[in-house]
């Protein structure tokens, strides 16, 4: 299966319950509380889909970034999600922000 197909074709979950895994970040230390229990996981907030790295002890956010294709987040993302905008679209955005 091609890489782009993995983002659009999902099989039915085999697990009884679907859950989110928080991936530990080895070697990271929280700058607020000093704990080393740091985890990375996908989230959806007011900015859209993001990958958040957060301290699991005090919930301090270490970093927030836009997901890349390998993150598989968000599921069912649009085919054109990562495409560069066309010249016409960029021009339209420039005109909107000029006012």
Q: Which residues bind Zn ion (CB under 5 A)?
A: 30, 32-33, 35, 55, 57-58, 60
Minimum Å distance from CB 49 to Zn ion?
Answer: 24
Judged by beta carbon, residue 32 or residue 66, the one nearer Zn ion is 32
Q: Are strands 38-45 and 23-24 parallel, antiparallel or unpaired?
A: antiparallel
Minimum Å distance from CB 29 to Zn ion?
Answer: 9
Both tokens assigned to 13: 């979950």
Minimum Å distance from CB 26 to Zn ion?
Answer: 16
Residues contacting residue 41 through CB under 8 Å, at least 6 positions apart: 20, 21, 22, 23, 51, 52, 54
């Amino acid at each position: 299966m091609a890489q782009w197909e993995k983002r659009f074709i999902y099989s039915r979950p085999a697990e009884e319950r679907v859950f989110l895994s928080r991936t530990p970040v080895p070697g990271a230390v929280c700058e607020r509380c000093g704990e080393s229990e740091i985890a990375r996981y996908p989230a959806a907030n007011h900015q859209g889909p993001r990958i958040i790295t957060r301290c699991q002890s005090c919930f301090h956010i270490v970093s927030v970034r836009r997901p890349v294709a390998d993150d598989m987040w968000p599921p069912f993302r649009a085919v054109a999600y990562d495409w560069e905008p066309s010249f016409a679209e960029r021009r339209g955005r420039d005109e909107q922000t000029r006012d």
